[in-house]
Structure 1
Amino acid sequence: MVSDVFGEVGIAATYGLVGLVLMALGFVLVDILTPGNLREQIWVQRNRNASILLASNVLGVGIIVATAIAASQGNWAEGLLSTAAYGILGLVLMAVSFVVLDAVTPGKLGEIVVEEAPHPAVYVNAASHIAVSAIVAVAIF
C-alpha cells in the first residue's frame, strides 16, 4: 500500500515536471514573440499587457496538460508522451494564432503587448490562447 502511494507520487511528479517544462517553453515563446525582456516587462516594469499574455499562455498549457493526463487512463509512459506532444502542439498553435492575429490587425501586436497602458488587443490575444488550448484539449479525447 505504501509503495503504491510512492509510485503514484512519482507518476504525479513526472507529469508535473513535463508541465513545468512546457510552461517554461511557453515563457520562452512569448518572450521571443514580444520585444524586450519579458521578465523585465512583467516583474520590474509591472506591465499588465505582458502579464495577461503570459498568463493566458500558462493557463492554456495547464488546460492541455491536465486534459492529456486525464486522457492517459493510467498508462504512464503513453500519458507522458502524449502530454508532451499535445503541449508542444498547443504552444505552436498559440504562437501561430499570435502571428495570424498580428497579421490581420492594425499595429504590431508585440509592440502593443509591451506598451505601458492597458490595451484591449491583449485580451483578444489572451482569449485566442485559451481558445486554441481548449480546442487542443478537446481533440485529445
Structure 2
Amino acid sequence: MSPTPIPAVTLLPSAPGGETLSIAEILGRGALAIASYAALGVILLIIGFYVIDMAIPGKLSRLIKEDRNPNATLLACSGLAALGLIVAASIWSSGGALHEGLLATLVFGLVGIAVQTVAMIAFDKVAGVSVRELVKEPDLQPGARLLAVTHLAIGLITAVAVV
C-alpha cells in the first residue's frame, strides 16, 4: 500500500489581487520595510540625542568625546536605549502594516522623547537631581545612575504601552 500524496500547499502570501507573491517580491518588500524602519529609528535616535543635548550645558558630543564625562555618557546612553525600546515595540506592534507602523513608530518615538524630557525636568524639580549639575562633575554620580534607570524604566513602560 503506497502513501496517499498530500496536496501541495503554498506558503507564499498573496498580493491584494489574490496572486501569489514570489520569494523575490517577499524579500524585496521585507528589505524595504527593514530599511524604512531603520531610517526612522536612526532619525528618532538623532532627535533624542539632540533633545538630551539641549537639556545639559555644553555640547553633548564634546562632553562625551573630548571630556569623557561619564555622567553625560550614561544619560545619553540610557536615553537612547530607552528610545530604542520604544521604537522596537512600535515596530513589533505594527503587525506588518508598513505605512501605519511607520506613522505609529514616529508618533510613539516622539512621545517617548517628550516623556523622558519631562521626567528629567521633574527629577530636577521634585528630587533635586539636576542634569545640568550632574554633567559638571568629572566622576560618575549616583544621580546620573538614578536618571539612567529612570530613562530605561520610562522607555520600558512606554514600549509595553505600545504593545
TM-score, structure 1 normalization:
0.96
How big is the shift at 1:84?
0.5
2:66 to 44, 53, 63: 44
What CA deviation, in whole Å up to 9, does each residue of 1:11-42 have, x standing for no partner?
Answer: 10100011101100111011000000101000
Q: Quick check: which has more Rg, 1 or 2?
A: 2
1:71 to 93, 98, 103: 93
| 1:82 is aligned to 2:104 | yes
Higher mean C-alpha displacement, 1-10 vs 35-44:
1-10
Cα distance between partner residues in 2 of 1:135 and 1:110: 25
Q: Does the 8 Å contact 2:123/2:130 carry over to 1?
A: no
Which protein, 1 or 2, shows the higher relative CO under an 8 Å CA cutoff with sep ≥ 6? Answer: 1
Cα distance between partner residues in 1 of 2:129 and 2:110: 28
Quote the residue 2:132 is aligned against. Answer: 110
| 1:62 is aligned to 2:90 | no
Matched letter for residue 22 of structure 1 = L
Cα distance between partner residues in 2 of 1:114 and 1:10: 43
Cα distance between partner residues in 2 of 1:137 and 1:32: 24
| 1:13 is aligned to 2:35 | yes
Quote the residue 2:52 is aligned against. Answer: 30
* Stretches (4+) displaced over 6 A: none
Cα distance between partner residues in 1 of 2:111 and 2:137: 29
How big is the shift at 1:105?
2.7
Q: Does the 8 Å contact 2:49/2:76 carry over to 1?
A: yes
The root-mean-square deviation of aligned C-alpha atoms, in Å, is 1.1
Cα distance between partner residues in 2 of 1:19 and 1:109: 25
Unaligned runs of 5+ residues in structure 1 are none
Q: Which has the higher helix share?
A: 1
Quote the residue 2:5 is aligned against. Answer: none
Matched letter for residue 10 of structure 1 = L
Q: How many residue pairs align between the two structures?
A: 141
Cα distance between partner residues in 1 of 2:136 and 2:34: 36
How big is the shift at 1:108?
3.1
2:147 to 116, 125, 137: 125
Cα distance between partner residues in 1 of 2:28 and 2:40: 18
Cα distance between partner residues in 2 of 1:106 and 1:82: 34
Unaligned runs of 5+ residues in structure 2 are 1-22
